[in-house]
Copies of this chain bind each other. A is one copy, B any other.
Amino acid sequence: MSGDTLAVACFGQPGSYSDQAMQSYFAGRAAAASYCDHFEDVTAAVAEGRARYGVVPIENSSTGGITEVYDLIRRYDCAVVGEKCIRIEHHLLGLPGARLEDIRTVYSHPQGFAQSGDFFRAHPGWEKVPYFSTSKSAEKVAADGRKDEAAVAGRLAADLYGLSVLAPSIQTNRRNFTRFFIIAPSMETDETADKITLIIAVHHTPGALYHVLGYFFYGGMNMTHLESRPMDGHPFEYFFHIDVMGRLDDPSNAHTLSGLASMCPYFRILGNYASDKGGVL
């Protein structure tokens, strides 16, 4: 990598959790971010060469896989070159001087509501309005200037948009993490890589997935995640997005994967990159 500035397409806005993941992943490298309102803007920017890298959330430890992103990565043929885990801490943000009892309407990304279910069940009278992202919700509340509006977002967004924390740490689960993928047009790997992400389809026969997992088990490759995604146009058939620990240049792992590839009607390795625990353990 040269000293040139890296063009990075980042989901969300300045101050978002994605922004935090990007800043953390590219710390110490000269990266120029363009922020995108939609997941598809990120995958398109990467696939069409307008960005060198993209940053998208792929999985939350409370609400699960972000299925739209799985489908976009597959559809735009992106590679995965890294991951970053970020601890999510949601706050209810409002105008300075606003009180909790002033609030009538709350904006957030749907995941912000889903991850703060207990808090909102205690405030059934509020209208919950789904919005583009947590940080964009904070920006809207600041721009609207109404004391009856609030946003669910992180502290970085509060600082950036000059909002007050009306209720801190409202997420239901204290141990709430989001995992982000760093995507690129093609694979990049180095000596730190210890995790492989791949997508397969299996033949429509009994035990097909069982035999797939047997390759990993007998090959000593520990599977850390399995996500089934529908195969559009083939009702109730599935792609499987799989993460396993391993290295493509390890002869044993390579043997396992080539055996697996021979039995799958669809087999694609998305990347081999350094895993990130992000303080989860």
Identify the A interface with B (CB < 8 A).
Answer: 59-65, 67-68, 110, 114, 130, 172-173, 175-177, 179, 206-207, 209-211, 213-214, 216-217, 220, 222-230, 232-236, 238, 280
Q: By the criterion CB–CB under 8 Å, are B228 and A227 in contact?
A: yes
Q: Name A221's closest neighbour in chain B (CB-CB).
A: B206
Q: In whole Å, how far is A265's beta carbon from the nearest beta carbon of chain B?
A: 18
User: Are B207 and A217 in contact (CB-based, < 8 A)?
Assistant: yes
- Leading 8 A-B pairs by shortest Cβ distance: A61-B235, A207-B217, A210-B213, A210-B217, A206-B222, A64-B230, A130-B130, A235-B280
Name A232's contact: one of B173, B207, B222, B236 (CB within 8 Å).
B173
User: Of B65, B173, B210, B230, which contacts A210 at CB under 8 A?
Assistant: B210
Expressed in whole angstroms, the minimum distance between the Cβ of A217 and any Cβ of chain B is: 4
| Given contact pairs A130-B130, A210-B210, A61 touches B230 in the complex (Cβ within 8 A) | yes
- Collect the chain B residues with CB atoms within 8 Å of residue A68's CB: 114
Nearest B residue to A114, CB-CB: B68
Q: Which residue of B lies closest to A129 (CB)?
A: B130
> How far apart are A79's CB and chain B's nearest CB, in angstroms?
22
Q: Is the interface of A mostly helix, strand, loop or mixed?
A: mixed
**Given A173-B232, A230-B61: A217 and B213 interface contact (C-beta under 8 Å):** no
- Say whether, besides A222-B206, A228-B225, A175 and B213 are in contact (CB < 8 Å): no
- Asked if A228 and B228 make an inter-chain contact with CB atoms under 8 angstroms apart, the answer reads yes
Residues of B close to A175: CB separation below 8 A: 233-235
- Contact partner of A236 among B206, B211, B280, CB < 8 A? B280
Chain B nearest CB, measured from A158 CB (Å): 24
| Complex CA distance for A176 and B179, rounded to whole angstroms | 30
Minimal beta-carbon separation of A208 from chain B (angstroms)? 9
List chain B residues, Cβ under 8 A from A179: 236
- With A130-B130, A207-B217 known to touch, is A173 a contact of B62 (CB < 8 Å)? no
CA–CA, A230 to B213, complex, Å?
20
Nearest CB to that of A70 among chain B residues? B64
Q: Is the CB of A173 within 8 A of B61?
A: no
Shortest Cβ gap from A152 to chain B (Å): 16
Point out the residues of chain B lying under 8 angstroms from A232, CB to CB.
Answer: 61-62, 172-173
